[in-house]
């Protein structure tokens, strides 16, 4: 590690803020992280309710090598900090017609399972999976590993290859349009359409390029950190502390100090803190509107439609359901109507798709013996002033009724305790504008190019990282965002 010569302040201890702090410390900076909450992780946090522990946010862990890279960069063994196991199957899918599908890891096992239980052929499903793999290989380096806002990055072999094969990446079709053309069974179309929700978008509007997300999960695999997802946060925080990063919790940043178009530090309630570099891990909309309201705003970027949000019921369940896995999806019967309700009507759908995450399946201490900790999530619009208390009551009934119907049970008397998150809580806890979990939506073909860059074009020494800027939301993309951001620091 280089000798300390300059100071860096990171605003926010989300996963991208933690990764940025680690990378800047390895570049030789004295690094301080300021976090409004009393805990690290942002969305990747944890809570206890009675005898139950819950991961509160991201629940699918892919591309773990991006996390491991931070430890290797710091001269540490990542397995001394946290461990993880590969999942197989990754998901279990439930349909109203009684179909149950297991989403296995590897193209071969996945295709075999789907061909056995749907009306599509193994050959056709495998062909679809290979196509998403080709799309991933064409877009990976271009969109995920480099800034889209520096001209020099467009003069590379990877970009040239992408341009020559532009017709293969699905930029001018929707996810649903491409999936309906490629797959014969509506249940498979719905299964692959759901990957639009990974960045808070609608498969009926988002470009087919986003079908690459399924490749990452199916072919490259998904993992579960021992002790729960929050252990990723704890491992990164410990690594940062071990290499000398200083943390200030319960320290809300009230403003970014800017002088002569140069970031000089931050303003806190009782003092100012100065630095040579400021990196904001706060939502980019919030950064401009709350932390530097006097600065000219990138209106085109900030005015982009925001992503969906969620209502989450964290339930302690006094029963163990053998038919459920770690990750479970209970699909809506009319998927298009559900997304139309969310994005056009700004309301919740009466028959929502439900994601149920149960970490006690792999981490027994998360729930009492014979019990389970349910993270029951439905997609909802971001906060535009709706009556969320009424929506929560409607959602609770819809979720309970759907689970009871599809699993042929009655969970109502089994719910021992409850925590509820809605867009208002998400916004307050994570500074996500309007409670939009994923920043801007990807409901147009140019969305990838309209995310805010990882640096300010007008303000020197000001940088941005996290899910609301390039390359986007999810744990691996936030880790990549930190790399792109810190590589931009001269």
Taking the CA atoms of 34, 40, 43 and 44 in sequence, report the sign of the dihedral they define: positive
In the DSSP assignment, the letter for residue 323 is: T
**pLDDT tens-place string over residues 234-259:** 999 999 999 999 999 999 999 999 99
Mean per-residue pLDDT, 198-220:
95
Q: Is position 265 within any domain? A: yes
* Confidence grade of residue 444 (pLDDT, cut at 50, 70, 90): confident
Same domain for 410 and 325? yes
Query: Are residues 281 and 209 part of one domain?
Result: no
Domain housing 377 = 308-430
Tens-place pLDDT, residues 279-315:
999 999 999 999 999 999 999 889 999 999 999 999 9
Q: Same structural domain for residues 182 and 144?
A: yes
Q: How confident is the model at residue 156 (pLDDT cuts 50, 70, 90)?
A: low
Name beta bridge partners: 14. Answer: 41
pLDDT band (50, 70, 90) for residue 379: very high
Note whether residue 106 is domain-resident.
no
Please report the pLDDT score of residue 151 as a whole number.
Answer: 55
122-139 and 107-117 are packed helices; what angle lies between their axes, rounded to 10 degrees? Answer: 140
Kindly state whether residue 111 falls inside one of the protein's structural domains: no
* pLDDT category of residue 446 using cuts at 50, 70 and 90: confident
- Please state, in angstroms and rounded to a whole number, the distance separating the CA atoms of residues 372 and 53: 10
Q: What is the dihedral of CA 354, 359, 362, 365, to 10 degrees?
A: -150
Kindly report the average pLDDT of the chain as a whole number: 94
The helix (run of H) or strand (run of E) holding residue 428 is: helix 423-430
CATH code at position 13: 3.50.50.60
Confidence of residue 148 (pLDDT cuts 50, 70, 90): low
Query: Measured on CA atoms in the order 23, 13, 382, 214, is the torsion positive or negative?
Result: positive
Rg (CA), the chain: 22
Range 332-359 average pLDDT: 98
Contacts (Cβ under 8 Å, ≥6 apart) of 391: 311, 347, 348, 380, 422
Residue 161: the pLDDT is: 60
User: Which of 220, 249, 281 delimits the end of a domain?
Assistant: 220
4 pLDDT higher than 80: no
Q: Is residue 292 part of a domain?
A: yes
Question: CA 4, 5, 6, 9: dihedral to nearest 10 degrees?
Answer: 20
Pairing outcome for strands 255-259 and 354-357: unpaired
Same-domain status, 145 and 254? no
> Nearest Cα to 213, choosing from 199, 232, 229?
199
Which residues lie across from 267 on neighbouring strands?
255, 272
| Residue 109 lies inside a defined structural domain of this protein | no
The torsion angles phi and psi of 474, rounded to 5 degrees, stand at 105, 155
Q: What is the 3-state secondary structure (H, E, C) of 230-283?
A: HHHHHHHHHHHHHCCCEEECCCCCCEEEEECCEEEEEECCCCEEECCEEEECCC
Per-residue confidence at 141, pLDDT binned at 50, 70, 90? confident
Q: What is the pLDDT of residues 117-132, one digit of tens each?
A: 999 999 999 999 999 9
The better pLDDT of the pair 217, 445 is held by 217
Residue that finishes a domain, picked among 220, 244, 264: 220
Say if residue 321 is in the same domain as residue 335. Answer: yes
Pairing of strands 327-330, 91-94: parallel
pLDDT band at 5 (very low <50, low <70, confident <90, very high): confident
Query: For the chain, what is the domain count?
Result: 3
Percent of the chain residues topping a pLDDT of 70: 93
Q: Is the pLDDT of residue 162 over 60?
A: no
Same domain (yes/no): 416, 352: yes
- H or E stretch covering 217: helix 212-218
Helical segments of 7-49, H only: 15-26
Last residue of a domain, one of 188, 220, 252: 220
pLDDT of 322 above 60: yes
pTM across the whole model: 0.94
């Amino acid at each position: 590690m280089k000798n300390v010569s300059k100071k860096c302040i990171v605003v926010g201890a989300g996963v991208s803020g933690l990764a940025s702090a680690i990378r800047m410390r390895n570049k030789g900076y004295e690094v301080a992280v300021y976090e409004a909450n009393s805990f690290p992780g942002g969305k990747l946090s944890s809570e206890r309710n009675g005898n139950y522990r819950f991961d509160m946010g991201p629940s699918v862990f892919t591309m773990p090598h991006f996390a491991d890279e931070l430890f290797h960069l710091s001269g540490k063994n990542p397995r001394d900090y946290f461990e993880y196991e590969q999942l197989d199957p990754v998901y279990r899918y439930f349909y109203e017609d009684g179909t149950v599908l297991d989403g296995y890891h590897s193209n071969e096992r996945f295709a075999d399972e789907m061909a056995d239980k749907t009306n599509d052929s193994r050959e056709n499903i495998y062909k679809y999976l290979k196509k998403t793999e080709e799309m991933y290989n064409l877009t990976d380096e271009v969109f995920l590993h480099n800034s889209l806002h520096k001209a020099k990055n467009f003069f590379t072999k990877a970009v040239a290859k992408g341009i020559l094969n532009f017709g293969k990446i699905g930029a001018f079709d929707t996810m649903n349009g491409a999936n309906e053309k490629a797959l014969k069974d509506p249940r498979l179309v719905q299964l692959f359409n759901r990957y639009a929700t990974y960045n808070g978008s609608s498969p009926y509007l988002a470009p087919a390029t986003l079908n690459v997300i399924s490749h990452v999960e199916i072919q490259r695999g998904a993992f579960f950190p021992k002790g729960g997802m929050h252990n990723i946060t704890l491992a990164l925080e410990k690594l940062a502390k071990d290499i000398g990063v200083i943390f200030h919790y319960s320290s809300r940043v009230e403003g970014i100090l800017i002088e002569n178009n140069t970031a000089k530090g931050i303003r806190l309630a009782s003092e100012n803190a100065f630095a040579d570099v400021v990196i904001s891990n706060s939502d980019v909309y919030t950064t401009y509107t709350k932390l530097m309201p006097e600065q000219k705003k990138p209106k085109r970027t900030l005015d982009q439609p925001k992503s969906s949000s969620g209502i989450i019921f964290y339930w302690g369940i006094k029963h163990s359901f053998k038919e459920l896995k770690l990750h479970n999806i209970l699909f809506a019967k009319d998927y298009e109507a559900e997304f139309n309700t969310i994005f056009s009507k700004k309301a919740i759908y009466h028959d929502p798709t439900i994601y149920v995450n149960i970490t006690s399946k792999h981490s027994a201490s998360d729930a009492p013996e014979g019990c389970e900790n349910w993270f029951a999530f439905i997609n909802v619009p971001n906060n535009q002033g709706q009556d969320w208390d009424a929506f929560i009551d409607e959602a609770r009934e819809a979720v309970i009724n759907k689970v009871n119907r599809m699993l042929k049970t009655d969970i109502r008397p089994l719910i021992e305790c409850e925590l509820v998150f809605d867009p208002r809580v998400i916004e307050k806890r994570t500074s996500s504008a309007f409670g939009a979990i994923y920043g801007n939506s990807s409901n147009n073909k140019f969305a990838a190019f309209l995310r805010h860059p990882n640096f300010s074009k007008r303000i020197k020494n000001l940088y941005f990282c996290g899910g609301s800027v390039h390359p986007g939301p999810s744990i691996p993309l936030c880790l990549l965002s930190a790399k792109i951001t810190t590589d931009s620091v001269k």
